[in-house]
Amino acid sequence: MGDREEMDFVLKKYFGYSGFRAYQKEVIQKVTEGRDCLVVMATGSGKSLCYQVPPLIVGKTAIVVSPLISLMQDQVMTLKQRGIRAGYLGSAQTDSTAQTKAENGYFHLLFLTPEKACLLPASFWLNLLKLGICLFAVDEAHCISEWGHDFRVEYKQLDKLRAILSDVPFVALTATATENVRVDIINSLKMKDPYVAIGSFDRKNIFYGVKHHNHSQSFLDELVQEISRLVANAGSTIIYCLTIKEVERIFKSLQKAGIKAGIYHGQMGSKAREESHRLFIRDELQVMVATIAFGMGIDKPNVRHVIHYGCPKSIEAYYQESGRCGRDGMASVCWLYYTGSDFAKAEFYCGESQSENHKRAIRESLMAGQRYCLLTTCRRKFLLDHFGEKLSTDNCGNCDNCLVSRRERDMSKESFLLMASIQSCGGNWGLKMPIDVLRGSRSKKIVDAQFDKLPLHGLGKSYSSNWWKALAHQLISHGYLMETVKDVYRTVSVSPKGKQHLSSAGPDHQSPLYLPLTDEMLDDEDQDSTSGEIRKVKNLAPLDNEGFSEHLVRTHGDYLLNIIRHLSESLNLSLDGEASFQTAIPKAHPVLNNQRKIAPAKYDAWKMWHADGLSVQKIANFPGRPAPIKEQTVLQYLLDAAQEGFEIDWTRLCSEIELTHQMFSDICDAVSKIGSREKLKPIKDKLPEETSYTHIRTCLVMQSYGISPEVVAPCCNPQKTAELSSEAVESCLIDACHTKSPHEFDMSGNSMVHFSSSKNLTSAQGPKLDLDCNDDLVSSKRHKLVHKGSSTASEATEDLILNWLKNHDEGVPLSAIVEHFHGSNKEHVVKLLGNLESDFMVFRKKDLYRLM
């Protein structure tokens, strides 16, 4: 019998197939000739046969390295049923004779985990070599590469075996390998002139689609309805979720709707997982809701739908998971539902990873996933392109973008603004900075970099940040912008094509640039229909007050005033009378005698606080702002204003932020102990928990201006005092009696501390406050009360943990979290942290918990 005939005979005899699929025969032939092979073929294309047939032809053992015991067990079982001698070595092996049998060449196919392969003694290999090893296969070979989506360190060790098995052909197999992963595989396994078989990645029978979702219940209800419809037709469905919590949530909803669903994730015991898998394979379950733990080795032919509820880590992972669909070649459907927060998980995925290369690969992979989600062109083309395969057409006719014609609009103006902003910011930022500039933000970063002086600052206010981000992704996918990972950051810059476009355009003239609107952009515009009104208003000439709704004036009055002001300035007209819209933020920025000019945002904050008497909290949430700002930011503005010579009522400020006399002197002590005011953290570390960074900053500014600590209230804020419990009042009363303090408390708990004498204290003036009480005792009592209060509050909840972590950018070890929330036991805290981790709210890195 000739070689080819023998191959056909084996195929028929053991597998029952009448012909080989593409590439199978060539690979088998090369392997039997002793050549190394790299096999890159789509999921379900039949790669396994490439290592299963040779041992049956040459009668020598084939070694197969596979990442999962369960996968090996499945394969061994199936092969045995076909009359092939197959076995595996590993921790789950109960047959004590298996290793001896293997060493004596009993098996046609011997499966090993990479760890086991490296642990076997050299004598094992030498004995088996004497009998003959026909090939050494590495399945799921992309696990060898740090560029791969599923890198496993153990795979890296396999090169050690190359020295012992120097004459054995190595066969690496994977369904997902980009160019650099392929090179990595060949180098890592020290393959010699390998025969490379790259099959088509095009799964023609699969429809690809993407939808945007929010985590709302109504969306989940819609999903359940959709699944009910799907399961009414034949075939199975797999729903992949990013977290176990989501798996459980969706599973419960499906069960409620009477759908036969199963569940599968890494925290289930192996028995429960096996049972779930078995029921699914036998069609006793219609739907499997799973994490990606349900992945490799799922060879169920009739999976008709794969739904991803959340954007996967990479295109490779997506391709592999969606590849569980339609393995029998019948028409099947893959939907991906994503939400914006899916793209912010790079830090989480980087987890414990030590290698910078690997971290960069993770970030780049996630970026590619994001691009896939936001794509408005053919999805199949994008997927194939990712794997280096060209689709001859721009319209595959079997993805959502090719079937639904999208609304296109001339986005030349918007694109010009965005590209110009990115260019003006230097092209060294992510998208946030240039978009914030367009939206007129005066954040510290923007003001410090003087981006608020750019002519385009604030010109893009009428679109939301998300809208601009979606446009940016359009421009990326059309080649006008480039996204790169520099060290650990994603930056966006204008590409040569974008620069060309910019240079041929100006603020008033741009050549048309028609781009499709994404669902997100359309949703955003629908939601913000009033901003649509604003855009219309912008185009109105002359401005006409008819048709302005009350709502429009209330919500956008400030914006309209600005348009009118700019218009009148440009026309050299004066506006009669002072506009006194309640929503308008004061805009005049006079420079007082001894004051230096400060940024408008700071001046506004100072004026509202100082002249209008608004509280920090009111300023932060002032209705005239496009969006609220943080109270800390307002405080920082006030401190900056003070440093530029603007008048500040320190007593009022200290009272508002509850900076007590005791805190003030504690902070001064800490500063002198440390001997430096440069860094706040060491100062903070020396102080009690309730002393915040805001307290420290304020104190330092006051110190530097020689403001006397006497201006600081000795006891609690009068308004806050009213909120004290009766216990607190009682304690204060006791203190007041003991110390014969002039502070009086009425029985309703209202403090009558006389702040009036300090009313006019400013940064320039500093008369001493006449308070002769024993402040220390009062405030130390208060201190105790606060502490006692925080002990009740120290029972951990998810919200409290999140709030607390907000103040610890550098991360906190578990022990410190447990100590802080000593009202709860450790298990409870660990459980909450686990929930937060699985919700991607926090992540753990080098044993420190941080906010995402």
Ligand X SMILES: Nc1ncnc2c1ncn2[C@@H]1O[C@H](COP(=O)(O)OP(=O)(O)OP(=O)(O)O)[C@@H](O)[C@H]1O
Binding site for ligand X (CB under 6 A): 17, 20-21, 24, 41, 43-49, 175, 299, 323, 327
**Closer to ligand X at the Cβ: 10 or 346?**
10
- Minimum distance from residue 156 beta carbon to ligand X (Å): 21
Q: Which is nearer to ligand X, 43 or 495 (CB)?
A: 43
Distance CA 755, CA 753 (A): 6
Taking the complex as a whole, the smallest distance from the CB of residue 789 to ligand X amounts, in Å, to: 58
Report the candidate in 143, 151, 169 with the shortest Cα–Cα distance to residue 360. Answer: 151
Closer to ligand X by CB, 142 or 556: give it. Answer: 142
Q: How many Cβ atoms from other residues are within 10 Å of residue 410's Cβ?
A: 13
Query: Residue 152 or residue 245: which is nearer to ligand X going by CB?
Result: 152
In the complex, the smallest distance separating the C-beta of residue 21 from ligand X, rounded to whole angstroms, is 4
* DSSP 8-state class, residue 285: -
What CA–CA distance (Å, rounded) separates 459 from 422? 14
239: left (phi over 0), alpha (psi -120 to 50) or beta: beta
Q: Which is nearer to ligand X, 66 or 474 (CB)?
A: 66
Q: Least distance in Å: CB of 142 to ligand X?
A: 10
Q: Which is nearer to ligand X, 47 or 305 (CB)?
A: 47
Nearest residue (CB) to ligand X, 50 versus 476: 50
Phi, psi of 80 (to 5 degrees): -60, -40
Query: CA–CA distance from 479 to each of 476, 493, 586 (Å)?
Result: 5, 11, 42
Pairing of strands 236-241, 287-290: parallel
Contact yes or no for 231/249 (Cβ under 8 A): no
User: Pick from 362, 357, 315, 361: which is nearest to 334 by CA?
Assistant: 315
What is the closest distance, in whole angstroms, from the C-beta atom of residue 48 to ligand X in the complex?
3
In whole angstroms, give the CA distance from residue 852 to residue 843: 6
Reply yes or no: is the peptide bond before residue 542 cis, omega within 30 of 0.
yes
> Which of 236, 233, 212, 220 is CA-nearest to residue 305?
236
C-alpha dihedral sign at 763, 766, 771, 776: positive
Nearer to ligand X, 321 or 631 (CB): 321
CB 185, min distance to ligand X, A: 15
Minimum CB distance to ligand X smaller for 28 or for 366: 28
CB of 199 to ligand X, least distance (A): 9
- Name the residue among 553, 613, 615, 611 with its Cα closest to residue 584: 553
Nearest approach in angstroms of CB 696 to ligand X is 58
Closer CB to ligand X, 17 or 489, in the complex: 17
Tokens 């014969």 -> residue: 740
Given the complex with ligand X, which of 41 and 334 has the nearer CB atom?
A: 41
- Beta-carbon contacts of residue 450 (< 8 Å; ≥ 6 apart): none
DSSP 457-482: TTTTTTS-HHHHHHHHHHHHHTTSEE
Neighbours of 645 (CB within 10 A): 16
Site of tokens 């991803």: 308
| In the complex, minimum distance from the CB of residue 389 to ligand X, in angstroms, rounded to a whole number | 16
Q: Cα–Cα distance between 152 and 115 in angstroms, integer?
A: 11
**Which of residues 203 and 305 has its CB atom nearest to ligand X in the complex?**
203
Whole-number Å distance between alpha carbons of 741 and 778: 9
- Report the residue number, 75 or 698, with the smaller CB distance to ligand X: 75
> In 3D, which of 653, 749, 754 has the Cα closest to residue 701?
653
Q: C-beta of 158: minimal distance to ligand X in Å?
A: 19
CB of 264 to ligand X, least distance (A): 17
As a residue count, the chain comes to: 852
* Least distance CB 512 / ligand X (angstroms): 45
Distance CA 330, CA 389 (A): 22
**480 neighbors 495 (Cβ within 8 angstroms):** yes
Bridge-based pairing of strands 812-813 and 848-851 is antiparallel
Shortest reach from residue 64's CB to ligand X, in Å: 11
Question: CB pairs under 8 A, 24+ apart, for 577-583?
Answer: 581/557, 581/624, 582/623, 583/554, 583/557, 583/558, 583/623, 583/624
- Closest distance between ligand X and the C-beta of residue 412, in Å? 45
8 Å CB contact between 296 and 68: yes
Contact indicator for 303, 332 with CB cutoff of 8 Å: yes
The nearer residue to ligand X, 68 or 257, going by C-beta atoms, is 68
**Least separation, in Å, of the C-beta of 295 and ligand X?**
9
Measured from the CB atom, the residue of 383 and 829 that comes closer to ligand X is: 383
DSSP code at position 751: B
Quickly count: other Cβ atoms within 10 Å of residue 78's Cβ. Answer: 14
Select 24 or 731, whichever has its Cβ closest to ligand X.
24
CB of residue 53 to ligand X, shortest distance in Å: 10
Q: If 0-12 CB within 10 Å is exposed, 13-18 middle and 19+ buried, where does residue 113 land?
A: buried
The residue among 27 and 817 lying less far from ligand X, judged by its C-beta, is 27
CB of 124 to ligand X, least distance (A): 27
369 and 375 Cβ atoms separated by less than 8 Å: no
Rg (CA), the chain: 34
- DSSP element (H, E) containing 729: helix 726-739
How far is residue 670's CA from residue 687's CA, in Å, rounded to a whole number? 7
DSSP 8-class letter at 763 = S
Nearer to ligand X by C-beta: 2 or 19?
19
Contact assessment for residue 260 and residue 289, using Cβ atoms and an 8 Å cutoff? no
Q: Which residue is nearest to ligand X (CB)?
A: 46
Smallest gap from Cβ 297 to ligand X, in A, equals: 7
